[in-house]
Amino acid sequence: MSFNKRTIRTLSHCFYDLKYHLVWTPKYRGKVLGAEKVKSELKRIFETICKWKHWEIIELNIQEDHVHFCLLATPRDSISYVMQTLKGKSSAWLKKKIKRAHGLYEKESLWARGYFVSTIGLDENLIRRYVKHQHHHNQTDQPSLFDKLLS
């Protein structure tokens, strides 16, 4: 999927375009994600979680000591819930797979506690101008924000 593609999604009572850039690290910033088997298993796990939760992966890049994730979420889920689910499930499922393969089990989470999140959204100036000029909304020369997005 491409960042340039702007598709407004809908639920029964809302329109949305909730895209996030997420970054997080393994505990102690360990370089434990570099092996191709680990990367491919994490990618498979993230794809499974996103399909289950109706989120879309826009971009995913797994480095040896951190993960970059661009994700489209639904309005039903807070970003803290998204992160809790991605980190919690991926840690548990990856550890379960490693336990089966190597007879190992670690009680701690794979991931460090924190994360970075930023929205990937509409042009800030466009939104600020739209909000500022709402008192003119009923005038015929003021275009709708949705008209601009959907065209």
Give the residue numbers marked as catalytic.
130
| Residue reference for tokens 């994490």 | 42
CA distance 109 to 12: 37
Contacts of 95 (CB under 8 A, 6+ apart): 105, 106, 110
Q: How many CB atoms lie within 10 A of CB 88?
A: 14
User: Residue 14 in 3-state DSSP?
Assistant: strand
Q: Where are the beta strands (DSSP E) in 1-149?
A: 9-11, 14-16, 18-24, 56-62, 67-73, 116-120
